[in-house]
Amino acid sequence: MENHSSLSRRTILRRSAAIPAASIALGTAAHAQSSSGLPPAVPESMRTPGGPFLNPPYGLPSEFEKGVVRVLPAGNNPFPTGSRTPLQSLHGIITPNGLFFERHHAGVPKINPDHHRLMVHGMVKRPLILSMEDLMRFPSVSKIHFLECSGNSSSQYTGPSGKTAQEIHGLLSCVEWTGVKLSTILAEVGVDPKAKWILAEGTDAAAMTRSIPMNLAMGDAMLAYAQNGEKLRPEQGYPLRLFLPGIEGNMSIKWLRRLKIGDKPFYTREETSKYTDLQPDGSSFEFTFLMDVKSVILTPSGGQKITKGFHEITGVAWTGYGRVKAVDISTDGGKTWRQSVLQEPVLSKALTRFRFPWQWDGNPVIIQSRAIDEAGNVQPIRKKIIDKRGTNQIYHYNAIQSWKISETGEVTNVHA
Amino acid sequence: MENHSSLSRRTILRRSAAIPAASIALGTAAHAQSSSGLPPAVPESMRTPGGPFLNPPYGLPSEFEKGVVRVLPAGNNPFPTGSRTPLQSLHGIITPNGLFFERHHAGVPKINPDHHRLMVHGMVKRPLILSMEDLMRFPSVSKIHFLECSGNSSSQYTGPSGKTAQEIHGLLSCVEWTGVKLSTILAEVGVDPKAKWILAEGTDAAAMTRSIPMNLAMGDAMLAYAQNGEKLRPEQGYPLRLFLPGIEGNMSIKWLRRLKIGDKPFYTREETSKYTDLQPDGSSFEFTFLMDVKSVILTPSGGQKITKGFHEITGVAWTGYGRVKAVDISTDGGKTWRQSVLQEPVLSKALTRFRFPWQWDGNPVIIQSRAIDEAGNVQPIRKKIIDKRGTNQIYHYNAIQSWKISETGEVTNVHA
């Protein structure tokens, strides 16, 4: 393995420049077409004025991108649990708000922000009920962070089911969050020094509730009211959600209405019947919050078809432990690994985009990415996870994703 | 002026914590309401299941946010030139794609990406015609950068016209761009060493064209195909635009179809009749590309009404020269200045969010922000600009914005 020290922007530029121009396999037509020296025909769009301003006032993607949408999981589940982000169609690290994955426990409530209140009570000196206007007067903070459902990629505990990155890993998004640090509000109410846990409750019909340990609450937890500059989307908890960077998604309670400060966990339905990790011996781990180091190659990825020649292998890596330190790439099914280039800036608990120049010679191969984080965690192979946890568990699957490329260039999801 | 060294996140946290909790002027009702210890009534949204998934598959803002949209400039101009971003309603540094400002010269063309081609010709060894598929196989790069129209804020050369930050300064947005570095494509075609300029041409009915000097082209210029993760929006140049970080917006040619390499500027219509800076003596400066250091307070800002007590003064700063180094705040019309806290990470040629805790005592005041960049540029007062440039010019206005707060808390746009 190469040295995993972080790479400067200068290094990225040098590496890109180092790819011989001739090695980039353009269709030969590209050069041939221009041999006459004449420009292509002037298109109709240059002869007729185009569409007007504010069409619509809140803009939308091109009609040619109508296939780039969130989807439900494959199959005919009458009670779908989440819609998924089309990771394989995205670029960079930011997820546009319209494509942020969904996970609800009783649908999306419609909440008028003028009527919404957050109550903070329990083991505190000064219980509080805050309107949104009250909350937005507090000092605020903005941070780019990923959010991942702990059930993301769970289908891979068993068969290699799911075809595309979206179907397999799409319960994952990354935006710039803005809100008030939870610690600011806890200072305002005056928390009893003996308090150790906080119950967070949503305004949905599931009354979704989780117990948050005080150390998470006093860290980088925030009461978020905006994503990518604008107010939260309804399906992301409008007008207010808890947001816990690096922690499994269900803890970041949406449509937040209540924080009760206590001295022990509250053992709500969603931390007893669910969101515990069933082990091979029948016991369960509870309160397994932190999201492990993980990565996935998005180009090329499942469902795509590639041709011989140059490709930039690219994808995203992330970890709840802080910064991604390196992402290694194998193009021989894990026998050898080479380091990719990470797009700067590499932000803590955010998606990190990696890039790796590659020539495909047309022979069948298996490509893989392996992320390493600044805490020293290394993304494991699938066998290591299954040997340890068995296949009863459905949460926190973070094994290396293998994509097989066939002789004809078809990319499929395999275990390797 | 205080020391302008960049502030760590730790410093931000310490500063926030340093605000005495009691100083945050919540409505007194907030504490009183909870005195009974009983929770507020359980809302209807907790009794009835909420709305379904994928409603719609490409998500939209809450219906309660329908006022947060782009707008045309005030007045009845039959030929509006741009729609504007609602800066005063946004948070953080990312502009959601639906609210990115518009500036077109002949409307928005509808372009099928399968038919779109980019031609690169002129003083090159290997002229090329590239499809979108060709382009997307090249090594790519993602960067968060602002884009500002050089005519932004131009109404302030004369009267203090315009009411809100959107109306005055809304030709400004910031997203994560993804594309291919222009230098990568120039290496592919083999540029003649004697070449000095590049003509860039759009596929719109204006055949919008500008001359780009080679040093900009070989720097951080990119051929962008995505913004905030997804493909460019139609009004931002779908499927391909030139993007020049830190440079006046009109140079980042949208719907890009042609790059012609030459040895001198091409003197197109848009760099002779327009986009030159008319001086008091009747001469004009041409090729004034770089956007100067600038900032604006967004909360509180024009059109808002505030109440006595604690407020976080917050807004954005930016510069075409690289990173913002500091933003000073005055709450006495420019007599004294204190340094704000910059939200980390501070990125080059990106919006930078500043925050400053403030108690308003109810007396009339004028609040101002003054940005300083890493090149040492200091945002000037209005008088300094007018004394030097006169009022014939309409481009590159970057003076300090003054907001007056009246006894009743109304915030208005003034010259001070």
Cβ distance A27 to B203 less than 8 Å, yes or no, reads no
Mean of pLDDT over chain B: 90
Model confidence at B40, pLDDT cuts 50, 70, 90, reads confident
pLDDT of residue A243: 98
pLDDT of residue A296: 98
Cβ distance A54 to B102 less than 8 Å, yes or no, reads yes
Using the predicted structure, report yes or no on whether residue A3 has a pLDDT greater than 50.
no
Q: What is the mean pLDDT of residues B134-152?
A: 97
User: How far apart are alpha carbons A246 and B182 in whole angstroms?
Assistant: 36
Closest residue in A to B18 (Cα–Cα): A184
For residue A391, tell me if it sits in a domain: yes
Cβ distance A130 to B26 less than 8 Å, yes or no, reads yes
Using the predicted structure, report yes or no on whether residue A235 has a pLDDT greater than 50.
yes
The tens digit of pLDDT for each residue in A186-219 reads: 999 999 999 999 999 999 999 999 999 999 999 9
pLDDT of residue A10: 32
Size of interface A-B (CB pairs under 8 A): 379
- A334 torsion bin: left (phi>0), alpha (psi -120 to 50), beta (else): left
Percentage above 70 pLDDT, chain B: 91
Using the predicted structure, report yes or no on whether residue A6 has a pLDDT greater than 70.
no
Same domain, A361 and A254: no
Cβ distance B231 to A46 less than 8 Å, yes or no, reads no
Same domain, A302 and A281: no
Cα end-to-end span (Å), chain A? 20
Last residue of a domain, one of A256, A285, A314: A285
Closest residue in B to A220 (Cα–Cα): B13
Q: How far is B178 from chain A (nearest CA, A)?
A: 6
Last residue of a domain, one of A285, A309, A336: A285
The tens digit of pLDDT for each residue in B197-252 reads: 999 999 999 999 999 999 999 999 999 999 999 999 999 999 999 999 999 999 99
Q: What is the CATH number of the domain that holds B371?
A: 2.60.40.650
Using the predicted structure, report yes or no on whether residue B31 has a pLDDT greater than 60.
no
Q: What angle do CA B310, B302, B23 make, to 5 degrees?
A: 0
Q: What is the mean pLDDT of residues A270-286?
A: 88
CA-CA-CA-CA dihedral for A207, A213, A219, A223, to nearest 10: 10
User: How far apart are alpha carbons A252 and A257 in whole angstroms?
Assistant: 12
Within an 8 Å CB–CB cutoff, is residue B203 touching chain A?
Answer: yes
Q: How far is A101 from chain B (nearest CA, A)?
A: 9
Q: What is the mean pLDDT of residues A387-405?
A: 95
Residue A377 structural domain: 294-414
Q: What is the mean pLDDT of residues A343-354?
A: 98
Within an 8 Å CB–CB cutoff, is residue B33 touching chain A?
Answer: yes
Using the predicted structure, report yes or no on whether residue A310 has a pLDDT greater than 50.
yes
Name the B residues in 248-277 with CB < 8 Å from any A CB: 255, 257-258
Reduced to 3 states (helix: H, G, I; strand: E, B; else coil), residue A352 is strand
Identify whether the C-beta of residue A140 lies closer than 8 Å to the C-beta of residue A373.
no
Cβ distance B61 to A58 less than 8 Å, yes or no, reads yes
For residue A76, tell me if it sits in a domain: no
Within an 8 Å CB–CB cutoff, is residue B188 touching chain A?
Answer: yes
Q: What is the mean pLDDT of residues A221-235?
A: 98
Which segments of A153-272 are extended strands (E)? 172-181, 197-202, 209-213, 222-227, 230-231, 241-243, 256-262
For residue A104, tell me if it sits in a domain: yes
Among the ranges given (A265-274, A289-298, A315-324, B244-253), the one the predictor scored with the smallest mean pLDDT: A265-274
Model confidence at B19, pLDDT cuts 50, 70, 90, reads very low
Within an 8 Å CB–CB cutoff, is residue B239 touching chain A?
Answer: yes
For residue B70, tell me if it sits in a domain: no
Same domain, B101 and B249: yes
| DSSP calls for A37-75 | -PPPPPPGGGTS--B-SSSSSS----GGGTT-S-BPPSS
Q: What is the mean pLDDT of residues A38-61?
A: 88
Same domain, A267 and A386: no
For residue B342, tell me if it sits in a domain: yes
ipTM: 0.92
Among the ranges given (A65-79, A92-106, A113-127, B199-213), the one the predictor scored with the smallest mean pLDDT: A65-79
Same domain, B137 and B253: yes
User: How far apart are alpha carbons A369 and A339 in whole angstroms?
Assistant: 9
pLDDT of residue A268: 94
Last residue of a domain, one of B225, B257, B284: B284
Same domain, B196 and B312: no
Closest residue in B to A184 (Cα–Cα): B17
Which of B34, B103, B181 should be substituted to probe chain A, the one whose Cβ sees the most A Cβ atoms within 10 Å? B34
CA dist list (Å): A405 to A82, A156, A367, B134, B256? 29, 19, 8, 20, 34
User: How far apart are alpha carbons A288 and A275 in whole angstroms?
Assistant: 8
- Of the candidates B27, B119, B142, which has its C-beta nearest A93's C-beta? B142
Using the predicted structure, report yes or no on whether residue B23 has a pLDDT greater than 80.
no
For residue A77, tell me if it sits in a domain: no
Looking at residue B195, the DSSP 8-state letter turns out to be: -
The tens digit of pLDDT for each residue in B314-362 reads: 999 999 999 999 999 999 999 999 999 999 999 999 999 999 999 999 9
Among the ranges given (B3-12, B106-115, B167-176), the one the predictor scored with the smallest mean pLDDT: B3-12
Strand partners, B365: B405
Same domain, B310 and B256: no
Within an 8 Å CB–CB cutoff, is residue A414 touching chain B?
Answer: no
Cβ distance A72 to B93 less than 8 Å, yes or no, reads no
pLDDT of residue A23: 39
Cβ distance B50 to A98 less than 8 Å, yes or no, reads no
Cβ distance A137 to B25 less than 8 Å, yes or no, reads yes
Position B43: which residue type? P
Q: How far is B352 from chain A (nearest CA, A)?
A: 11
Within an 8 Å CB–CB cutoff, is residue B23 touching chain A?
Answer: no
pLDDT of residue B272: 86
Model confidence at A20, pLDDT cuts 50, 70, 90, reads very low
Cβ distance A226 to B113 less than 8 Å, yes or no, reads no
| DSSP calls for B113-125 | TTT-EEEEEESBS
Cβ distance B58 to A60 less than 8 Å, yes or no, reads yes
Using the predicted structure, report yes or no on whether residue B8 has a pLDDT greater than 50.
no
Identify whether the C-beta of residue B60 lies closer than 8 Å to the C-beta of residue A70.
no
- Of the candidates B50, B109, B233, which has its C-beta nearest A107's C-beta? B50
What is the total count of domains within chain B? 2
pLDDT of residue B159: 81
CA dist list (Å): B239 to B111, B138, B235? 7, 16, 10
Within an 8 Å CB–CB cutoff, is residue B137 touching chain A?
Answer: yes
Same domain, B101 and B196: yes
Within an 8 Å CB–CB cutoff, is residue B193 touching chain A?
Answer: no
Model confidence at A36, pLDDT cuts 50, 70, 90, reads very low
Within an 8 Å CB–CB cutoff, is residue A126 touching chain B?
Answer: yes
Percentage above 90 pLDDT, chain B: 81
Chain A hits for B131, Cβ within 8 Å: 27, 30
